[in-house]
Amino acid sequence: MKDRYLYITILRDPNTRYISEFKHVQRGATWKAARLQCDGRQASLEEVPFCFDEVDDPISAPTLVRLHDLISSAVDHRFIAPGIKPRPGFVSADWSGVSLDDFMKCPHNLANNRQARMLANLTLSGCYKNGAMSPEMRHDIMLKSAKENLRRMAFFGLTEYQQESQYLFERTFGVKFRRDFFQYNHTHASEAGISHRQQRQILKLNELDVDLYQFAKDLFSQRLQKTLREDTKIRINDIVHGRHYDETARRGTMSDDDQSKDLDKRLNLLINSARRHEEYEEGDEDDADDDDEYNHRIANQKKYSP
């Protein structure tokens, strides 16, 4: 018997995911070792160039990195004027210290629409060949493919809904986690302090991810409600008690009041669904009692009838 492999994934709000990746790159991450495989071959640097200046000479690279560290140290200790700093990525082979505006300006930044691209079958849109078709057609095919692949997955979760994701995973695969998932809303992304202009630009750069995430939330809600309806043995306490919602934390730019309303809405969805199941089960028992009483009355009528 052949093994059966199931693909699963976790999606995240496109805005916070993009900011989180920006902060990661700002700290020195590059993904230079990532192999962009598609249709049996790896994407070339001409197709997907780096957004930062790459150091090609393996001998001079360590020297330049050390030089960068020395200059940075000198700036920190005020041995030279604080305003004189090396351009991020100029003498080091990464994008350390990049600003959000510069991060968004790179036209081939793989952070843009990353979730849609990684879920899609890129062979349908010409892989990483930019001239294979128009950008509009490429994006349309990529988005449709990402949605279809997500729909076919046995399970996917949402970062912003940890407890609901845990519930779906456990019911889908028949397992039980030893510890409940915890909702972390205070992250590096929440501390970025971006402007409204930058916020709009992020959403514009990630239009495919925004569309995909809305589709994912709708599909996630459908699967959650379907699982609750089918799980007739569920108890309200299994969902409400033991779950660790962080009611005081903010999600993105939501106010405390909006955060509380959102939490209430999510809990009510689960509680009402569970109550409907309990009422349904109680209704079945009542119907059975009514049937027994009816049969008993019929038997008595036959017994005492002339």
pLDDT digits (tens, 9 = 90+) for 194-236: 899 999 999 999 999 999 999 999 999 999 999 988 876 555 5
Q: How far apart are CA 254 and CA 249, in angstroms?
A: 9
Task: Kindly state whether residue 184 falls inside one of the protein's structural domains.
Answer: yes
Q: What is the pLDDT of residue 34?
A: 82
Reference 93, options 112, 73, 128, 67; nearest CA is 67
Mean pLDDT calculated for residue range 287-306 = 48
* 144 is a domain residue: no
Q: Look at 239 and 165; give whichever has higher pLDDT.
A: 165
Does a structural domain hold residue 37?
no
- Residue 51: inside a domain, yes or no? no
Q: What is the mean pLDDT of residues 148-168?
A: 96
Asked whether residue 75 is domain-assigned, the answer is: no
156 has which bridge partners? 9
The per-residue pLDDT for 85 is 39
Task: Report the percentage of the chain scoring pLDDT > 70.
Answer: 60
Q: What is the mean pLDDT of the chain?
A: 75
What's at 160, amino acid-wise? E
Domain count for the chain: 1
Residue 228 CB-density burial (10 A; 0-12 exposed, 13-18 middle, 19+ buried): buried
Note if the pTM is more than 0.95: no
- pLDDT for 51 beyond 70: yes
Segments in 77-206 forming alpha helices (H)? 100-105, 114-119, 135-152, 162-173, 196-205
Q: Name the most confidently modeled range: 45-54, 86-95, 163-172, 296-305.
A: 163-172
**What is the per-residue pLDDT for 189?**
60
Question: pLDDT category, 275, cuts 50, 70, 90?
Answer: low
Q: How far apart are CA 202 and CA 197, in angstroms?
A: 9
Q: Does residue 65 have a pLDDT over 50?
A: no
Give the model's pLDDT for residue 29: 87
296: in domain: no
Is 1 among the domain residues? Answer: no
Closest CA to 83 of 74, 92, 91: 74
pLDDT band at 138 (very low <50, low <70, confident <90, very high): very high
Give the residue, 84 or 71, on which the prediction is more confident: 71
In a domain, 104, yes or no: no
What type of residue sits at position 71? I
Residue 260 belongs to domain spanning: 8-27+153-287
For residue 281, is pLDDT > 50?
no
CA distance 45 to 56: 13
Judge whether residue 26 has pLDDT over 80. Answer: yes
Q: Which of 64-73, 80-89, 123-132, 243-252 has the lowest mean pLDDT?
A: 80-89
Identify the band that residue 128 occupies on the pLDDT scale cut at 50, 70 and 90: very high
